[in-house]
Structure 1
Amino acid sequence: MGTTRNAPLEAWMREHGHSANSLAEAANRAVEHLTGRTGSYDGSSVRAWKSGRIRWPNQLTRQALEIVTGLSAADLGFVPRGRAHTTPAPQQEDDMKRRTLVGGGLAVAAAAAAPGTAPRRIGMADVERLQKRFTEVIASDHRRGGQPDIEQQAAALADEALNLQRAGSSTQRVRSSLYAAAAAFRSSAMWAAIDGRRYPEAQAHMREAQALAEMSGDQGIKFRIWSHAGSMYRHMGRPGDAIAANDVARGLHITRRDPLFASLGLARQAAIHGTAQDRTGAHRAVGQAQDAMTRADTNLHRPVWLLAFYDQAELDSLALSAYLSLGDYPTAEAHAHRCLAALRPHMARSRAIAQTRLAHAQLAQGDAEAAVHSAMQVPATAATQHARVSRMLSEFGATLRATASGSPVVTTWTEHTAAWRASA
């Protein structure tokens, strides 16, 4: 007797843009949350599920797939042993089993109300309330990026979104929106940790954000998390891992629907190519990012996190990073000036980073006086409290003393940094 293909699973994969390999990766991460050990699925495992060769996976596999999809094994088209494919799937399963996620910070209890009270109905208004508070976290990040309190606020919002899942009943749309919100908040916690060079914390946030994003089915937040992962590995000096993570983001079908997502993915790819000393790849990616941004429809609805930061100034900032890494200092300086001219007033953190990189590009071209003038424009708070800016300015000072020893600008810089420290 031949096997019957698992049409529900295939349909879910098509709807959510999953290949066999990407679903296997998501399931492996879910197993890690359940057991502490990464799963061993690959593309052939998923093909066996799709083809019907495996009609009823083992319990761990079923739990992992339920975490990834938010659906029961029966709803995904799997059939318990001894039942025919034509047997109607159960209409309901134990909510505790379907909703409880074990591991990390993902423990979500079943929806329950206190004895004698009616369950609360959770709606989109609850999601919107959380999203409004999220904008405050984003605003703080743009002002003071990388601070532990921003990371903690974002993580707390993620937990609050998950707690709403157990506060009452809701529709599938609301549940998906809450998972997407939790993933977005956790992704912001991840970014704050990256910006503060707290990489172990960033990786922990990343794992939780990835699992939540899979449950939400939201392509935009999946892109954000994988794109952040690429940036994290770039800052850690691991360009191979950075390219692989960013390729996952760029492979999502949202980048084909919306050129602005494609542009961000390409701009970050350029910065990674710069770290990897791939001059041709960086130059090509910058050009492609610019072309995609030109094609982007400004009237499309997009998530607040994207609209809050990605524009021409950010594209030039990433190009600045790429060319600075490559040692093409005149081109880096040109992008720095373009970035600083276009930055929106509230982007204080981005301005400090661009100003510091401009100083590096000018110093590398032998213009110590202009470089010191640029570096002195960085606010004291960023210079002393932002981990990335502090490190870049420390490196700037060391290079200045090595290349312009005895110059009055060295004295000027030394006195200025002493004033920074005194005001911190």
Structure 2
Amino acid sequence: MTDVARLQGEFAEVIASDHRHGGQRTIEQRAADLADEALNLQNSGSATQRVRSNLYAAAAAFRSSAMWAAIDGRRYNHAITHMREAQALAEMSGDQEIKFRIWSHAGTMYRHMGRSADALAANDVARNLHVTRRDPLFASLGLARQGAIYGAAHDPTGARRSFDQAQDAMDRAAPGAQRPMWLLAFYDRAELDSLALSAYLALGDHPSAEYHAHRSLSGLRPYMVRSRAITTARLAHAQLAQGDADAATATAMKVPADAATQHARVSRMLMEFGAALRATAPGNSTVQTWTEHAATWRTTA
């Protein structure tokens, strides 16, 4: 169990790196290497069933982090490979919480790939695990991610219902209950608002998207650097879609240069923002302002 405790410390560092940077190949590789290290410990000497289960759970957790880094970096072929390995390891561990994480990540991956039916199916696997009946916070996360999937699938009724249910489940979750570190590190009201922002942006309900963006930004914890960049970029899109080019450009310019140039999802959103700005406000001086600002990112990247 000393090795297990050490690996859990390494896992906490991987989670922290993800929240700061997100999507980087170095995070993906580090998590994959640690998964292999956990598996290698299975072959060194004798161990109790409890230790073996914990080592499989650790390996699954690291593989799920490698999977998430690949999803966040839009390297979907890598993510699918990590997912399959993580799913097998999670089955051997018997750990319901890590199974939830893997299948919930799978739903998010398929959502980003534009495969809404697969996204709902994967997310349903997570939502049907016993852990969601034992702890409403897990149920809330499953419902919030379901709402985001419904948004991507252009189902406003399903999205609104899911977010209402997610909030209700969050309200019922016992504060201070023992939960895995990866869940406590990110899932809260701000993350629920972030998922709602994603859904309403996809649905074209830009006032609702902006509302949830502001709520999310006000509640994000300081270390959630990657999440703040994504939410800020989405807020800029919501403002631009409502015709406020000046406010939207000012918002987009708040995204840090490293996120704008090194995070695949943020980079893509800002490229799309620039294209939309040029298309909707061609005579506006903000186009030149944005062009000059984006040029500074390229020179500092």
* TM-score interval, smaller chain: over 0.9
Deviations 1:89-122 (A, max 9, x none): xxxxxxxxxxxxxxxxxxxxxxxxxxxxxxxxxx
- Decide which of 263, 275, 287 is 1:410's aligned counterpart: 287
**1:6-405 correspondence to structure 2 within 5 Å:** 124-405=1-282
Measure how far apart 1:248 and its partner are: 0.3
> Please, which runs of 5 or more residues in structure 1 have no aligned partner?
1-123
TM-score, structure 1 normalization:
0.71
* Structure 1 vs Structure 2 CA RMSD: 0.5
Distance 2:197 2:284 in 1: 28
Query: 1:299 deviation in Å?
Result: 1.9
Higher relative contact order, structure no. (Cα contacts within 8 Å, ≥ 6 residues apart) = 2
Q: For the residues of structure 2 that align with 1:195 and 1:344, how far apart are their CA atoms?
A: 19
Please list every run of 5 or more consecutive structure 2 residues that lacks an aligned counterpart in the other structure: none
Whichever residue aligns with residue 146 of structure 1, its letter is G
Deviation at 1:235, TM superposition (A): 0.2
Deviations 1:8-35 (A, max 9, x none): xxxxxxxxxxxxxxxxxxxxxxxxxxxx
In the aligned structure 1, how far is the partner of 2:98 from the partner of 2:140? 16
Q: Secondary structure at the match of 1:168?
A: coil
**SS of the counterpart of 1:346?**
coil
Where 2:176 maps in the other structure, the secondary structure is coil
Q: CA deviation at 1:378?
A: 0.2
- TM-score for the superposition, normalised by structure 2: 0.99
In the alignment, what sits opposite 1:26? none
Give 3-state SS (helix, strand or coil) of 1:399's partner: helix
Counterpart position of 1:53: none
Task: Please name the residue that 2:296 is paired with.
Answer: 419
Q: Which consecutive aligned stretches of 4+ in structure 1 deviate over 6 angstroms post-superposition? A: none
> Aligned letter for 1:315?
L
Alpha-carbon distance in 2 for matches of 1:177, 1:333? 42
Shift of 1:228: 0.3
Deviation at 1:168, TM superposition (A): 1.3
Output the amino acid matched with 2:2.
Answer: A
Instruction: Tell me the alpha carbon deviations over residues 180-230 of structure 1, each in whole angstroms, 9 at most, x when there is no partner.
Output: 010000000000000000000000000000000000000000000000000
Shift of 1:161: 0.4
Post-superposition offset of 1:134: 1.0
Q: Deviations over 1:38-66 (max 9, x none)?
A: xxxxxxxxxxxxxxxxxxxxxxxxxxxxx
Supply the AA of the counterpart residue of 1:341: S
How big is the shift at 1:298?
1.4
When the two structures are aligned, how many residues end up with a matched partner? 301
Letter in 2 for 1:140: S
The AA in structure 2 aligned to 1:199 is Y
Question: Residue 354 of structure 1: CA displacement?
Answer: 0.1
Structure with higher helix content: 2
Alignment-mate amino acid for residue 276 of structure 1? A
Identity %: 76
Q: CA deviation at 1:415?
A: 0.5
Structure 1 residue 125: deviation in Å? Answer: 1.5
**Equivalent residue number for residue 108 of structure 1:** none
| Counterpart secondary structure, 1:366 | coil
